[in-house]
Amino acid sequence: MTSFDIPPSKFQHWELTIDADIATLVLSVNQSGSAFGTYELKLNSYDIGVDIELANAIRNIRLTCPSVKCVVITSGLEGTFCAGANIRMLAAADHSHKVNFCKYTNETRLEMEEASTLSGIKFLAAVNGACSGGGYELALACDHILLVDDRSTTISLPEVPLLGVLPGTGGLTRLTDKRHIRRDRADIFATKAEGISGQEALEWGLIDELATPTKFHEATQNRARELAKGSPRLEGSPTELPSLNPSISDEHIIYDWVKVDLFEAHAELKVLVGSDSDWLIRTALELDDVFCRLRFDYPHLGTLILRTEGAIDDIVRQDSELIDPSTSDQLEIQLLWRRCLTRLDLTAKTLVTAIEPGSCFVGVLFELALACDRIFMLDGQFEDHENPLPAAPIQLTKTNFGAMPMWNEISRLTSRFWGDREASSHLAAFSGTEILAAQAAELGLVSATPDDLDWDDELRLFVEERSSFSADALTAMEANQRFAGPETMATKIFARLSAWQNWVFTRPNASGPSGALQRYGSGSRAEFDNRRT
């Protein structure tokens, strides 16, 4: 099982230090600390374990260190900043892990950019050694790249000439969309295995600043202070991060507020709503953790059914705390829910919501439903129960009208009704009111409203039908349909990852017995099938 909840005190690859308003993350990868298998993490190369620690470090800085306004990312390994994703790991990993690893890595890089844009935490890449592949992608995710000018250190995206795979999707996209590198120069850079160094890298816009080895430390400190000084981060109080410690068996994954039942081909996830003061942060952390677990450890479960349970009044009160944050701690909890929901958007499983008596799909929890491919809502009660609960309503709040945008930077409601402005604008009049099944169907908020006689059969048949389809075809269809409307850098990254990277990793040029991933470092050249498709 993969562990996604790692506190800084248990890091084995990163060292996190805080000095007033500047945090420093030093990458010193433990070569023998691989997440699985027997590969060595040489040259500060990384696997999912290294990336999970980075994600946890950023989360800790955002939630527990409100004074931090700049994060310096640098290396503790002499002569090397980061060699990118570990090639032995990629060669040994199954296809599902390869793609999920790339997805998680890109989500973490995008969280850094979100922290800069929305939280005011600026990132400085102090590149003090060779920087290639995913290592340069990490630098690209920062606000400023400072490169040591020692006449030998280079930056590179060498995946095409060396590995026969796409250069990290996020790397290519950031070259053109973020740093505005000219197309021909991007082509030269991405096919030049040895990379580019010094003044040429600066002139092309691949980096922002150079410093000689003797002045590198001073330049790093000066730039970090300048970035911190310009940060608009709000004042706030530290938020304690609870440990999750889920109970995991063959049948269940159980947290305090999130319960998952595991079946042969699908899983059923229920969010319980409480009145505890830490419900918002703990539930978001639990959901984020379980979404990652379902991706990496349960790829065979193709469908996820989402349910909720609790008092409407409790979720209305909890949801209200996510609107209009005025301190950094309030803002970070709102953004934590936002990231959790985007994690669900990108999960390669069929997502379906079941709204039934006892449900509380209100505000932020209705966002879970809006992220789904289908929404089933029971029309009425379960009449055969001894003491039937009343019919479940859904309720829109301010949270549903822009507080939790998707990666395409529009709300899930806007995305659902893309191109139908009248329908989406009409919904604002229903904010704060309870909407039952018939009206929800009329408003286009749900997909189907079976009665209690058909409820169980409708859900069962849906799961069975989904299980009969090609998983590859479903993933492609769902990834395409979930993001209507405008294109952003993030949607480009994930669309290319879902399609191109998914495809490239299965091709013999990369993963075949004579492909580049298998022959890398062996002394034998890869054999490529050069027919274009």
pLDDT of residue 163: 82
Clarify whether residues 343 and 450 are in a common domain: yes
Q: How high is the pLDDT of residue 479?
A: 87
Please check whether residue 512 lies inside any domain of the structure. no
**325 with 441, same domain?**
yes
164 confidence band (pLDDT: 50, 70, 90): confident
Instruction: Tally Cβ neighbours within 10 Å of residue 152.
Output: 11
Do 122 and 204 lie in one domain? The reply is yes
For residue 355, what are the contacts with CB-CB under 8 A and spacing of at least 6?
361, 369, 375, 376, 377, 378, 392, 394, 437, 446
| Nearest-angstrom CA–CA distance, 485 and 74 | 38
Query: Do residue 273 and residue 203 come from a single domain?
Result: no
Instruction: Show which of 438, 461, 481 is a domain's final residue.
Output: 481
Whether residues 54 and 121 fall in one domain: yes
369 and 415 housed in the same domain: yes
What tens digit of pLDDT does each residue of 510-519 get? Answer: 888 898 888 8
Residue 286 placed within a domain: yes
* Residue partners of 23: CB distance under 8 A and separation at least 6: 16, 17, 61, 65, 68, 70, 71, 72
Point out the domain boundary residue: 455, 481, 507.
Answer: 481
Run of H or E including 253: strand 252-254
Q: Give domain status of residue 89, yes or no.
A: yes
Q: What is the DSSP letter of 175?
A: I
135 contacts 105 by C-beta, under 8 angstroms: no
The answer as to whether 532 is a domain residue is no
The rounded distance, in Å, linking the Cα atoms of 436 and 395 is 9
**Residue 390 to residues 361, 378, 393, 436: CA-CA distances in angstroms?**
14, 11, 9, 11
Residue 450: which domain range?
A: 247-481
Inter-residue contact 282 to 307 (CB < 8 Å): no
DSSP secondary structure code for residue 321 in this structure: T
In terms of domains, do 331 and 474 share one?
yes
Tell me, yes or no, whether 507 lies in a domain. Answer: no
235 in any annotated domain: no
Encode pLDDT of 422-434 as tens digits. Answer: 887 889 999 999 9
**Tokens 């190369």 map to which residue?**
45
Query: CA–CA separation, 273 vs 390, rounded Å?
Result: 18
Residue 123 lies in a domain: yes
3-state DSSP of 378-420: CCCCCCCCCCCCCCCCEECCHHHHCCCCCCCCCCHHHHHCCCC
Are 210 and 252 contained in the same domain? no
Paired sense of beta strands 70-75 and 122-127, if any: parallel
The reply to whether 19 falls in a domain is yes
Q: 481, 509, 528 — which closes off a domain?
A: 481
Q: In this structure, are 309 and 451 located in the same domain?
A: yes
User: Where residue 446 falls among pLDDT bands split at 50, 70, 90?
Assistant: very high
165 — pLDDT class (breaks 50, 70, 90):
confident
With the CA atoms of 509, 510, 511 and 514 taken in that order, what torsion angle do they form, in degrees rounded to the nearest 10? Answer: 50
Domain count, the chain: 2
Give the predicted TM-score (pTM) of the model: 0.95
The CATH number of the domain holding residue 469 is: 3.90.226.10
Alpha carbon 426 to chain centroid distance? 32
Q: Are residues 290 and 206 in the same domain?
A: no
| The pLDDT value given to residue 200 | 97
Q: Are residues 183 and 307 in the same domain?
A: no
Query: Are residues 348 and 275 part of one domain?
Result: yes
